[in-house]
Structure 1
Amino acid sequence: MPGKNKALSREQQEELLSVLKARFEKNLNRHEDMEWSTVQSKLEADTEKIWSLHEMERTGGEPDVVGYDLEKDEYLFYDCSKESPKGRRSVCYDREALESRKKHKPENTAIDMAASMGVELLTEEEYRALQKLGEFDLKTSSWVQTPKDIRERGGALFCDRRYGHVFVYHNGAESYYGARGFRGSLRV
């Protein structure tokens, strides 16, 4: 999506803000002691962040506010869809992994898609924090940011929730599956 206009029409913005507000109000446990009006003010001041949230929503992520960084004065949005976002599955980890495949290459990578959307993959720590807010990835799994030393050896990490526990696994970074995608985070 390079070169794509990263602005929404006024109508698209209003529609997205309405969806985000409804989700915010429906899931108050994710953001106790926060007011939607202050979140909306921050969003309206940054059209690129609204565009990124639109991309998260468009690809099935169901983004929602999950925290606030007082030091940086930023709200944290994570993908809160029950399963790994549908529009971001069947991707290997990164460009190097994609290029290493001889055949049956996936169409994209988690790292490239996240960058084109203006979001970051969740870290393992962020993924575990998300799982404290509900039960996610009961049937799917999600790539997470992988430490450099693991990636240099050809691996990548992914997480899911099974048997009431959050698991972190490894796979070759070039692997991809119909039930594995990625969850994004965005600071606004």
Structure 2
Amino acid sequence: MGNTKKWSESEQRLLLTILQQRFEKNETRHVGLKWSAVEERLLADPGKLWSLEQMEQTGGEPDVVSYDKERDQYVFFDCAAESPKGRRSVCYDRAALDARKAHKPTTSAMDMAKEMGIEILTEEQYRNLQQLGEFDLKTSTWVKTPDAVRKLGGAIFCDRRYGQVFTYHNGADSYYGARGFRGALYV
């Protein structure tokens, strides 16, 4: 993870203010959760704050979507209306990127997520996100692909069209200007 960035008090405060405002504006995403508890966790782990800054800077608009009792952690997802702009036009993973002979994208979704210190949403997480609103009406999002599919050269992605959430497949080496990825971060 590249989360060695030194945080000034003012930079930390600014990000926390943005996250708190989003948290308060979208209370239906996290019913029963208190911002003060989330903030306490974030202040205790600057690496997670760095990852949230990366999510924010790439257009993800991260917000708390749940509390995982088993892991004793708050869960942030990218909640931007469309797939984050700063994370589009990427193929699925490093193997797919390396396999491309021409017109390679600059990186892959899995590599970028690792660098940011986040996980790509699973299909189940993506569908859970869609219960909180309508996302990806114009874009699509790579999701964690089962190993059996990936071994055959494919990868899966999701979007929302016609009031439904759809899961599709594509070659893992494909990339499009309207396809990116959404991340999850556990704090």
Deviations 1:65-124 (CA, angstroms, capped at 9, x unpaired): 000011221000000000000000000000100011110000010000000000000000
Q: Residues of 1 paired with 2:72 and 2:88: CA distance?
A: 32
TM-score, length basis structure 1:
0.97
1:127 aligned to 2:122? Answer: no
The aligned counterpart of 2:77 is 78
* TM-fit CA distance, 1:7: 3.8
What is the percent sequence identity of the aligned residues? 64
Unpaired segments ≥5 residues, structure 1: none
Find the residue that maps to 1:78 and give its secondary structure: strand
The aligned counterpart of 2:154 is 155
Contact 1:155 1:173 in 2 (8 A): yes
Q: How does 1:39-78 map to 2 (within 5 A)?
A: 39-78=38-77
Q: Residues of 2 paired with 1:7 and 1:27: CA distance?
A: 30
Contact 2:145 2:156 in 1 (8 A): yes
Alignment length, in residue pairs?
187
Deviations 1:26-82 (CA, angstroms, capped at 9, x unpaired): 000000001100000010000000000000000000000000011221000000000
Find the residue that maps to 1:84 and give its secondary structure: coil
1:23 aligned to 2:35? Answer: no
Runs of 4+ in 1 over 3 A off after TM superposition: none
Unpaired segments ≥5 residues, structure 2: none
- One-letter amino acid of the counterpart of residue 59, structure 1: T
TM-score, length basis structure 2:
0.98
Q: Residues of 2 paired with 1:4 and 1:166: CA distance?
A: 34
Q: Residues of 1 paired with 2:45 and 2:3: CA distance?
A: 17
Q: Residues of 1 paired with 2:115 and 2:8: CA distance?
A: 19
Contact 1:7 1:48 in 2 (8 A): no
